[in-house]
Amino acid sequence: MAVSTTKVVVISIFLILGMVLAGVLMQPEASFQAWDIKESDFPVNDSAKEKLSFLLNYAILAPSSHNSQPWKFNVTNDSILVFADKTRQLTVADADQRELYISLGCALENLIVAADHFGYNSSVVYFPGEKDLAAKVVLQPAVNSSGDPRLFSAILSRQTNRNPYEPREISEADLETIKGLSSDADVSVFITRDSGIKKSFQDLVMQANAIQYSDVNFKSELGHWLGQGVMGPTGVRAKMAQLAVVFLDVGPQQSKKDADLINSTLYLGFISTANNDSISSVKAGMVLERFWLAATALGISLHPMSQALETTQTKAEIAELLPAKPGMMQVQQAFRLGYGKEEVVHSTRRPLQEVLITQ
Ligand SMILES: Cc1cc2nc3c(=O)[nH]c(=O)nc-3n(C[C@H](O)[C@H](O)[C@H](O)COP(=O)(O)O)c2cc1C
């Protein structure tokens, strides 16, 4: 028996609506509540462990690739263990786990800035040996707080601004302040206005987009995270964004958007390290986050652009774009920097309880 076209269309619409509804109902708990944390909520009269746990409210506001939040924490009376949650790795876009460890570095940096602010001296041991343990942070109450209040306040206002940026110069003084607050001997930050580098970077982003958006696995992974409602749209709109990425050819549209964004931006930034290993990525993440907080404190926006570092074909060429800096040839992260034209809203976070390891 032949099935009419109308029936096929009606059944398809019901199937799609069913998928969207099921997806929305199954969206994990994530909310904007994490951003409501108040300094005055610090549990002054509670145990040492409760106080350290409180600091993690700031760690989880860190940026992470696809907002994957690939972290877990174990708190004791005088230390916090920061673990990689490998179940949240972007296995296609971030096969070498570079972005996973950069994201952990960002969370680690927020933790240290918050610890400084609430009067703790912190010392970090990187990769002490236990499986997936990226860092052990030992925290001791300090006599004097050495924290920079500008960085601490910026934790709550920092966000990824993916809008076009104004063609407005950043003063040399502000650039120096940002660089000064985020300098680290093991990590190089290169900020450029060079039009040749910008054009070549744009070409590499276009090339990477073409490769990624013709890969069903990449589209499915990106769709999965979009559908969770963690990267911009939430609820039904998140599911619609997922369906669009997975089933439509959105690559050319994305490339046009990225080209416009790069063209709107006066400054590009590149973070590099000497080695291509996990500890270097964690340290690059710490510098990225410190740089981002310092920029935020001055009203300057930042937008990481990772595409060209995510495909082997384009990754090698990024290092070629930058002036040779002996010993610092591993590009870890690229970003746009400037004054955002429009305000953006925060993205959601998982509740702290979900990322605490409790025995
Ligand atoms: C290592 C890393 C790579 C990122 N790459 C991109 C990217 O390529 N494109 C993008 O739009 N955002 C990128 N982001 C930003 C994240 O998507 C963003 O941090 C996350 O969605 C949380 O949003 P928020 O930064 O506004 O809190 C990246 C962030 C990190 C830490």
pLDDT tens-digit series, residues 58-110: 999 999 999 999 999 999 999 999 999 999 999 999 999 999 999 999 999 99
pLDDT for position 21: 57
* Strand, coil or helix: 161: coil
Fold of 35-159: NADH Oxidase (3.40.109)
Question: Which has the closest alpha carbon to 80: 62, 59, 64, 98?
Answer: 59
Question: Which has the closest alpha carbon to 122: 107, 101, 136?
Answer: 136
Q: How would you list the strands of the sheet with 120-126, edge to edge?
A: 71-75, 79-84, 133-141, 120-126
Fold of 172-213+249-338: NADH Oxidase (3.40.109)
Best probe residue, ligand 1, of 99, 306, 337, 346 (max atoms within 8 Å of C-beta) = 306
Q: Which atom of ligand 1 is nearest to the CA of 346?
A: 26
Question: Which has the closest alpha carbon to 346: 166, 165, 156?
Answer: 156
pLDDT for position 202: 98
Q: Residue 91 corresponds to which amino acid? A: T
DSSP 64: -
pLDDT for position 327: 79
Dist. CA 353–CA 73, nearest whole Å: 10
The whole model's pTM is what? Answer: 0.93
CB of 126 closer than 8 Å to CB of 97: no
Residue 206, classified by CB atoms within 10 Å of its CB into exposed (0-12), middle (13-18) or buried (19+), is buried
Dist. CA 145–CA 267, nearest whole Å: 34
Q: Which atom of ligand 1 is nearest to the CA of 98?
A: 1
CA atoms within 13 A on the CB side of 301: 23
Best probe residue, ligand 1, of 60, 61, 100, 160 (max atoms within 8 Å of C-beta) = 160
Ligand 1 is surrounded, with C-beta below 6 A, by 63-67, 99, 102-103, 106, 159-160, 162, 231, 304-307, 333, 347
* Strand, coil or helix: 306: coil
pLDDT (tens digit, 0 to 9) for every residue of the chain, 359 residues total? 556 777 776 666 666 666 655 555 555 556 899 999 999 999 999 999 999 999 999 999 999 999 999 999 999 999 999 999 999 999 999 999 999 999 999 999 999 999 999 999 999 999 999 999 999 999 999 987 778 899 999 999 999 999 999 999 999 999 999 999 999 999 999 999 999 999 999 999 999 999 999 999 999 999 999 998 888 888 889 999 999 999 999 999 999 999 999 999 999 999 999 999 999 999 999 999 999 999 999 999 999 999 999 999 999 999 899 887 777 889 999 999 999 988 889 999 999 999 999 86
**Both tokens assigned to 104:** 């952990």
CATH 3.40.109.10 domain range(s) in the chain: 35-159, 172-213+249-338
Q: Which atom of ligand 1 is nearest to the CA of 99?
A: 1
